[in-house]
Amino acid sequence: MNKKENQRKLFLIFHGRFPSEKAASLFAAKSAASFAQAGFSVTLLVPRRLRAIKKDPYEYYKIPRSFKIHYLWTLDLSFIAPFKRVGFLTSFIVFSFTSFFYLLFCTPKDSIIYSNESLPLWLASFIFPNTFYEVHDFPEHKLTFYRSLIKRVKWILATNQWKAEELARLAPVAQGKIIVEPNATDIDVVNGGKSGKEARKKLGLPLDKKIAMYTGHLYGWKGVDTLAEAAQMLSEDSMVVFVGGTEQDITRFKEMYGEVKNIFITGHHPHEEMPLWQSAADVLVVPNTGKEAISSHYTSPMKLFEYMASGRPIVASNLPSIRQILSEKNAILVTPDDAQALADGIKKALDPSSQSSKLVVRSLQDIKRHSWIARAGRIGEFMVD
């Protein structure tokens, strides 16, 4: 029997568009690749969604062809504006059942079924004993269903301590099967960016400006409007660069802030370019709002880990979700939803006398445990134990 046949089989279920510009799609790709690198035989199950980016996902995410991708049929009506919400729900339900029947007829019963998708995993738990639920959002509604899911699965991953405690409160039986594991990044890839001057020349950014940068989506809960307000409080020799967003959000953001002199909105760029953009910055910003639970407690932003590996000082909102990773020892933390506090934090990071370089050194030390492969290895050990 060869090595491949000896590997433990792991099936990772993801309902989102794949590939896509969204962080959830990137997370699925990186998770699959890292589990394969950790020694599992991995198959990623994704729906055949109509608006997925028409590119080879291995090339798009620059990941090795070390795992299989299997596209399953679903009924996708979410591209029709009036049916967007109902269409997504329909797609999710259909995909949940198609993934279940695929697993039922094509998968050994001792395989690990791994997902952050609730319904597909709940269905699989009736047949497969080794089910692993990675909790990204905290279940605020349909608590009866989630208690059932938490009881049925064998392992649970919470991306921060707050979620682990809340899950144990929701279903006390969960306490003995929870691992806390934040998100991760490709440390070597992020560190491989060009110098600031080289990056700016390549990207066409000014060499004579101090640049604060945000990379990611332009959703309200990300705090980007607060950062746009803070930009207008900075000196004329400073500018704030926004990289990312969906087409709709970019249009909205440009309508609101496109005329502000020291704001530059670049739009979406492939994830592989993020190290280059971040290398062009003097400071990187995580301006998350404290007004929504997804931001204040649930999230474990992948950009945060990329920022830590970039060798640039970080200014971030002082929130429980952020403090799981950052502290005053490795970042400048500011009051959330306060544009003046955010502007002051950026100014402090840009001030040569603030010794923000010490924060960078500590950040580079702290990020070492948060590589994708290290994360997958710890999860693998947890499943074996």
- The pLDDT of 269-289, averaged and rounded, is 94
Instruction: Indicate whether 259 and 172 sit together in one domain.
Output: no
Token pair of 322, please?
A: 């952020």
Q: Which of 128-142, 177-191, 228-242 has the highest mean pLDDT?
A: 228-242
What pLDDT is attached to residue 2?
Answer: 43
pLDDT digits (tens, 9 = 90+) for 163-188: 999 999 999 999 889 999 999 998 87
Token pair of 63, please?
A: 């990941």
- The pLDDT of 59-88, averaged and rounded, is 86
Instruction: Indicate whether 159 and 292 sit together in one domain.
Output: no
Say if residue 190's pLDDT is above 80: no
- The pLDDT of 70-96, averaged and rounded, is 85
What pLDDT is attached to residue 193?
Answer: 57
Residue 270's CATH number: 3.40.50.2000
Task: State the Cα–Cα distance between residues 342 and 114, nearest whole angstrom.
Answer: 38
Instruction: Indicate whether 211 and 307 sit together in one domain.
Output: yes
Q: Are 57 and 26 in contact (CB under 8 A)?
A: no
Instruction: Indicate whether 91 and 174 sit together in one domain.
Output: yes
Instruction: Indicate whether 258 and 345 sit together in one domain.
Output: yes
Say if residue 3's pLDDT is above 90: no
Instruction: Indicate whether 94 and 208 sit together in one domain.
Output: no
Instruction: Indicate whether 177 and 57 sit together in one domain.
Output: yes
Strand partners, 213: 241, 284
Instruction: Indicate whether 213 and 304 sit together in one domain.
Output: yes
Task: State the Cα–Cα distance between residues 121 and 100, nearest whole angstrom.
Answer: 8
- The pLDDT of 47-62, averaged and rounded, is 91
CA distances (Å), origin 60, targets 31, 74, 92: 15, 23, 24
Q: How many structural domains does the chain have?
A: 2
Q: Which of 264, 122, 152 is nearest to 204 (CA)?
A: 264
Strand partners, 114: 12, 132
What pLDDT is attached to residue 189?
Answer: 74
What pLDDT is attached to residue 88?
Answer: 86
Instruction: Indicate whether 354 and 219 sit together in one domain.
Output: yes
- Burial per residue of 51-90, b for 16 or more beta-carbon CB atoms within 10 angstroms, e otherwise: ebeeeebbebbebeeebebeebebebbbeeeeeeeebbeb
Task: State the Cα–Cα distance between residues 286 and 304, nearest whole angstrom.
Answer: 7
Whether the upstream peptide bond of residue 19 has omega within 30° of 0, thus cis, is yes
Q: For residue 204, count CB atoms less than 10 angstroms from its CB and return exposed for 0-12, middle for 13-18, buried for 19 or more.
A: exposed
Output the pTM of the full model: 0.88
Residue with token string 């003995």: 176
Say if residue 1's pLDDT is above 80: no
Task: Report angle CA 183, 167, 221 to the nearest 5 degrees.
Answer: 55
What pLDDT is attached to residue 175?
Answer: 86
Say if residue 80's pLDDT is above 80: no
Instruction: Indicate whether 110 and 17 sit together in one domain.
Output: yes
Say if residue 41's pLDDT is above 80: yes
- The pLDDT of 126-151, averaged and rounded, is 93
Q: For residue 152, count CB atoms less than 10 angstroms from its CB and return exposed for 0-12, middle for 13-18, buried for 19 or more.
A: middle
Token pair of 281, please?
A: 């910055």
Question: How large is the C-alpha radius of gyration of the chain?
Answer: 21
Q: Which of 21-25, 50-54, 60-64, 65-69 has the highest mean pLDDT?
A: 65-69
pLDDT digits (tens, 9 = 90+) for 291-304: 999 899 888 888 99
Task: Report angle CA 369, 274, 318 to the nearest 5 degrees.
Answer: 60
Q: For residue 195, count CB atoms less than 10 angstroms from its CB and return exposed for 0-12, middle for 13-18, buried for 19 or more.
A: exposed
Instruction: Indicate whether 208 and 277 sit together in one domain.
Output: yes
Task: State the Cα–Cα distance between residues 111 and 130, nearest whole angstrom.
Answer: 7
Task: State the Cα–Cα distance between residues 146 and 118, nearest whole angstrom.
Answer: 8
Q: Are 268 and 244 in contact (CB under 8 A)?
A: yes
- The pLDDT of 359-381, averaged and rounded, is 95
- The pLDDT of 226-250, averaged and rounded, is 95
Instruction: Indicate whether 24 and 95 sit together in one domain.
Output: yes
Dihedral angle of Cα 283, 272, 376, 163, to the nearest 10 degrees: 50
pLDDT digits (tens, 9 = 90+) for 201-227: 999 999 999 999 999 999 999 999 999
Domain of 55 in residue numbering reads as 3-184+370-384
Say if residue 192's pLDDT is above 80: no
